[in-house]
Structure formats: C-alpha cells, structure tokens
Structure 1
C-alpha cells in the first residue's frame, strides 16, 4: 500500500512545476526488499507437512518480494520506450518461478501471489513461461471461481497483444487497464469491471 501511495505522489508531483519527488524513500524501500530473507518458524521441520507449508510460504514471500521490486522498477525507474534491463527480466522470471514452485493441489498459498505473478507476466516475452502463467491462473480459476483470478488471463492477453502491436518496451499494464475502464464508461456499463488481484 505504501508503494501505491508513493506512486500516486510521484505521478502527481510530475505535473507540478515546483515540486520534486524524493527518490531516496524509494531507494530505501528497494534496499530493504533486496536484503530481506525468509526466516522459517521453529516448527518448520517438525514433520514433512510443516516443511512443505514453510517452503510454500517462503516461495510466496519471495514471489511478493520480487514482484514488488518489479512494480517499483515500472512505477519509479522505467522511462517509456527504454529497453527493459536483463536484471528486471530476471526478477520477473524469479517471481514466476517462485509461484510455480508452490504446491498446486493442496496449498492455497500460491494464489496469494496472483498480483506478483501478473507483474511478472507483463515483463516476460518467453512463450513457455506465459503458457505456464495462463495454465496456473486457469487452474486456480477452476478451483476457486473467484472473479479476480478469472479476469487476470484476459488482462494479460490484452497486455501481450498491445506489446506485440506497439513494442514490448512501450506498453505498461496500467495503460491497458485505464483503456478498458474508459471503454466501459463510454459504453455506459453499469457494472464496470473491477480488477482485483487478491
């Protein structure tokens, strides 16, 4: 939530002539995220079930940590049209891999990393990884029937189509969401789509 508020402040300050956003706050949060490590509880190795639960928690936490770093890159450091650095693509791949590493069948933990998985999907061109993301979201949708999961795949596909059309480095998912909302408002939809990632 703090990063979202800071993102709004940065956006607002960019339109003001005499206001400059202080990037030091962002750098501090970034360093904190980069140095954070999962600490297993004392019960993590009591039995195999506890070990699996701790591993799922670790992978989910790492997905969130890396997903927040992706969000920070896009909101605070990215310049439209500039090539995405390899370390950002690596961070996206690491995020996706951590989500994939959680147990699918018995663990509810991985679904909590839907937003970081979405961020990762928007930063990766690799078709194999994209297919895994779609498959996992589809599996979660079948099990849960939550709208937030159901709406993720069409939104990702819209982002990917825009990247194909306008160039990978020129598209941000926020632009796609804004366009979808504007289209709905123009049509006068009473029940506008709400995007919710858990």
Structure 2
C-alpha cells in the first residue's frame, strides 16, 4: 500500500489553485509516479477517516481524486462502495433536485457545513489504468464526487455554504447529530 501524505489545510494557497488535466493519451497504468500517488491518496484518506480525497489536498495539482464511501467514525452512516480513483473527472449532467447535507473536509479540520448539492449526477472519468467510465451517482456518493470535484476547481465546501450559521465545529456537530 501507499504512504500517508500530509494534507494541506485551508489557508494554504495551493488549495485554491485549479488542478491541471492529465494527458489522456499517456499510458496511465504504466506511470509509476501516478500509481504511487493513487496508492498514497488511498492510504492517506483511510488513515484520516475520509470518504474521499483529491490530489490538490496533498499539494499535487492534478485532476485526480478518490471516492471511497464507507462507514467510519466521521461518517458512520455512509454507504459502502469500492474505492475508486477518478482522473480528469467531469459532471456530464445533474438532476434538478438540490439537497442540503452536512460535509466536513480533511483540509478544513474541526468544521462541518450544511452544503447544497445535486442529489443525482452523471459523470465521466478515467480510472487508474486510463479506461473511460461513465456512471450515475446519487445521494451521499454524488455528494462526495461533487465535494472532491470542487477541490479540482480550487474550492472547498465552505464556499458553498449559504448561511454562516450553517457552519459548526465538529464538537457541536457531534453533539447535535452524532
């Protein structure tokens, strides 16, 4: 498996930069640097009880993130899915329904925010071997995808909170909803 990398936090200007697309013509599966990065992201996310992590969170400005929903101490009700590396991801379409849900972030420790996200999305991405995938996600997994996709645009969940009163400390969140 990979190594745990330091996660940069809000205030680090690298978190606000747009990530660069990877060359889809290259042999992604043979790129040892990329494969090591994916393994490191998986290990880092697991060690920090995340359900997703984006390359910009470890100061790598590439369009890559992991979606790996699973129950853990931060998200005990999360559904389980196979951890999936997504390269050059795009949202192709979305439903009309916006759902507000509580989000946290490894780069914004100690805070949760109530964030509106599309309940249903259709996406495309390359997997770690360069194969194209087109998938439909809904509910919590759609939320994770949109959250991580924001990181590639230089955004964090706090940018999407509509009311400042919808930001809580982790302790307040756990007391109210945990």
With normalisation by structure 2, the TM-score equals 0.33
Greater RCO, CA 8 A, separation 6+: 2
Structure showing the higher helix proportion among its residues: 1
Structure showing the higher strand proportion among its residues: 2
- Compare CA radii of gyration and give the structure with the larger one: 1
